Amino acid sequence: MKPAPHTFSRRAIIKAAAATTVLGNSMLQQLSAAGKKLPASLKGKVNHSVCRWCYQSIPLDDLCKAAKDIGITAIDLVGPDDWPVLRRYGLYASLSHGAGRGIEEGFNNPGLHDELVAGYAAMIPRVAAAGYSQLICFSGNRRGLDDEQGIKNCARGLKRLMKTAEQYGVTLVMELLNSKVDHPDYQCDTTEWGVALCNEVGSERFKLLYDIYHMQIMEGDVIATIRKYHRYIAHYHTGGVPGRNEIDETQELYYPAIMKAIVETGFTGFVAQEFIPQHPNPLTSLRQAIKICDVG
């Protein structure tokens, strides 16, 4: 059965708020433990992760077991309810969710600032207490708002959270999404807009999630953009273009070259697989994707 469309599944999962607090080890401790168990076939220059929502048909325990076997050290886009499962398998939460209203209603709406600030201010310490360091956020849809005002609005709300984020060592990561195919009207839809917002916020605890699939659709020129703006990027997502399916020879991007460019920037964060598998065995596609992206 073909998985549910990205625009539905992602929104439903990200909007789900979690309700438990979990204490954990530091990122360094968890990655060190996971790294000691990497398969000998992996080169070790890329920190591999996988987005949970793409494998909803697979119980999380089974996905974690498979991830460990493949050499993946983290699970992406998970909230507090899932953290205890990850810890059971020695896996890291590379990008957490659990605050905000989702993709369409974000920081570009000043009318939501009080609610968003309260939610993120409560979630940031929980992420830190669990030993994690990244929390996803979104600009929201334009709804007639021009880009310059959207940057000002987002920055005004985000600046209210930077002291807390800096105190707890948690980075708020805003995702770059395409507004042509998957997320019509979404405002943070180009790298330059996101970079302008980073400069306006002015904190190392606010950065971008560069989704390769989305940005290939919006602007192309992926490798040159990564080289130019890498210092603003805290996280990467993959996906085949067109269709957000496997990242193999069936699509237009050549991921070995993209991954090599990422490694050459000195990036030490996570690259998370976020494609919707079409193979009858989704884990076969996941294993292949890790092999493709594991450059030396």
Q: Answer with the residue of higher pLDDT: 54 or 3.
A: 54
Tell me the average pLDDT across 225-236: 98
Q: pLDDT band for 41, please (50, 70, 90 cuts).
A: confident
Tens digit of pLDDT for each residue in 110-147?
999 999 999 999 999 999 999 999 999 999 999 999 99
Residue from 64, 60, 76, 77 nearest 16 by CA: 77
| Omega of the bond leading into 125 within 30 degrees of 0 (cis) | no
Q: Answer with the residue of higher pLDDT: 206 or 2.
A: 206
Tens digit of pLDDT for each residue in 210-220?
999 999 999 99
For the chain, the straight-line distance linking the first and the last C-alpha, in angstroms and rounded, comes to 35
Q: Does residue 6 have a pLDDT over 90?
A: no
Q: Does residue 2 have a pLDDT over 70?
A: no
pLDDT at site 14: 47
Tens digit of pLDDT for each residue in 88-108?
999 999 999 999 999 999 999
Tens digit of pLDDT for each residue in 274-292?
999 999 999 999 999 999 9
Of the listed ranges 34-43, 176-185, 220-229, 234-243, the one predicted with least confidence: 34-43
pLDDT at site 107: 98
Residue from 107, 101, 83, 74 nearest 16 by CA: 101
Q: Does residue 4 have a pLDDT over 80?
A: no
Tell me the average pLDDT across 159-172: 98
Q: Does residue 36 have a pLDDT over 60?
A: no
Q: Does residue 35 have a pLDDT over 60?
A: no
Strand partners, 92: 74
Q: Which residues contact 1 (CB under 8 A, 6 or more apart)?
A: 57
Mean of pLDDT over the chain: 90
Helix 113-129 × helix 147-168 angle, to 10°: 30
Tens digit of pLDDT for each residue in 240-269?
999 999 999 999 999 999 999 999 999 999
Percentage of residues in the chain having pLDDT higher than 90: 86
